[in-house]
Amino acid sequence: MSQKRILVTGASGCIGHYISEALIQNTNHELFLLVRNPNKLQVNTQARPGITVLQGDMQKISGLADLLPTIDTAVLTATAWGGEKTFDINVNKTIELLKLLDPQRCEQVIYFSTASVLGRDNQPLKEAGEIGTDYIRSKYDCLHQKSKLAISSKITTVFPTLVLGGDAKKPYSHLTSGIPEVTKYINLIRFLQVDGSFHFIHGRDIATVVQYLIDYPPKENAPRSFVLGQKELTANQAVEEVCAYLGKKFYFRIPLSLALANLIIAVFRIQMAAWDRFCMNYRHFTYEKVINPASFGLPNYCVTMSDVLKISGIERVGNGDAGTRGRKEKLRASRSAVLGKAQVEQTSEDARTRGQEE
């Protein structure tokens, strides 16, 4: 595999960390890692030659005007999640960066959008552009603007579903950071039945897919849009898997219907944004086709809810532990039986001794 000059923006983010780590460890490509704060980049940039850390900001992307025309592959993960800079970074500066790349030299751009801008048919969802959060609307806008660029035929767009990831040396995704809190309320959640479904994907699996796309870019006229996710999972299946992992049983489940949810919202005067209301009604954030490492014959890292909980550091209280508890209980029972027998024998001996003394 020939060496490429690769730019990774947002390298210190959750997904950026996994991608940077994979490219450092598994390839010999020349890497340029763009970060705002180099101290937040926890990958080993001294592991091999050919790794350059660029301290910079997407809002000052013009500062890379000399470097960008020399890039063979650009992996654009940098994003603003909200605030006044959201549209400037996610749309204006991203388009500016794309224009600075050389369409003749640049082999591929891997642009990170979000599955939230797509409908179940994998096509743009108009509500995302009309009532989505600033982050979602900015991604929707960029999706349409980039299609007008000279380099558009080289852009591979990936749409991650719910993203998991993070550890002691990588920032946690929003979803992963909330998992410990969810498990605290599983005693209540397990008795609710909810109509909904989703996909998820771990940052390490995203990195595996990105590395594959870098090494094997889509050929001319081949699809260049990919939704990243594992197999569809219903909300009820997710709860059942979590309960099995935590050793929790449920004997009945109360359907949490849309009508009941609306009643609760009305009674308690809960304020909901238009996008939140839309998501509550939409419920099934699933897609016609999703890809993950297995789609390319590669191993997945995180596939099931059990994998999710284990990777998140949640202790299992399932069959394995139940077996251990059973063995301990049998051992305690055996010990009690031995002690009981010894006590009976000692009592009998004491009685005989007292009889002899009398």
Query: How far from 220 is each of 111, 153, 156, 217, 224, CA to CA, in Å?
Result: 17, 8, 11, 9, 9
Q: pLDDT grade, residue 1 (50/70/90)?
A: low
Instruction: Give the tokens for residue 73.
Output: 């592959």
Cα 236–chain centre separation: 19
With a pLDDT cut of 70, the percent of the chain lying above it is 88
Chain CA centroid to CA 229, Å: 9
Average pLDDT over residues 286-311: 96
Using alpha carbons, select from 24, 318, 301, 284 the residue that is nearest to residue 164.
301
Encode pLDDT of 15-41 as tens digits: 999 999 999 999 999 999 999 999 999
State yes or no: pLDDT of 331 exceeds 50. no
The answer to whether the CB of 43 falls within 8 A of the CB of 21 is: yes
Of 98, 196, 203, 180, nearest to 145 by C-alpha is 98
DSSP conformation class of 110:
E
Which residues lie closer than 8 Å to 259 by C-beta, 6 or more apart? none
* Interval 48-69 mean pLDDT: 96
Per the prediction, the chain carries an average pLDDT of 89
The rounded percent of the chain whose pLDDT value lies above 90 is: 74
Give pLDDT, residue 152. 96
| pLDDT tens track for 186-218 | 998 899 899 999 999 999 999 999 999 999 999
How confident is residue 268, by pLDDT bands cut at 50, 70 and 90?
A: confident
What pLDDT shows up at residue 343? 53
Question: What are the tens digits of pLDDT across the range 75-110?
Answer: 999 999 999 999 999 999 999 999 999 999 999 999
Q: pLDDT at residue 46 above 90?
A: yes
Bridge-based pairing of strands 225-228 and 155-160 is parallel
Residue type at 339 in one-letter notation: L
pLDDT band, very low/low/confident/very high, at 330 (cuts 50, 70, 90): very low
Query: Where would I find the H helices in the chain?
Result: 14-26, 86-87, 94-100, 126-131, 134-145, 174-184, 186-189, 203-215, 235-246, 258-267, 274-282, 305-311, 319-357
pLDDT for residue 256:
84
> By mean pLDDT, which of 169-173, 244-248, 341-345 is the weakest?
341-345
Q: Which residue has 């460890």 as its token pair? A: 25
Q: How confident is the model at residue 182 (pLDDT cuts 50, 70, 90)?
A: confident
- CB contact set of 280 (below 8 Å; sequence gap of 6+): 258, 261, 272
Mean pLDDT of 208-235: 96
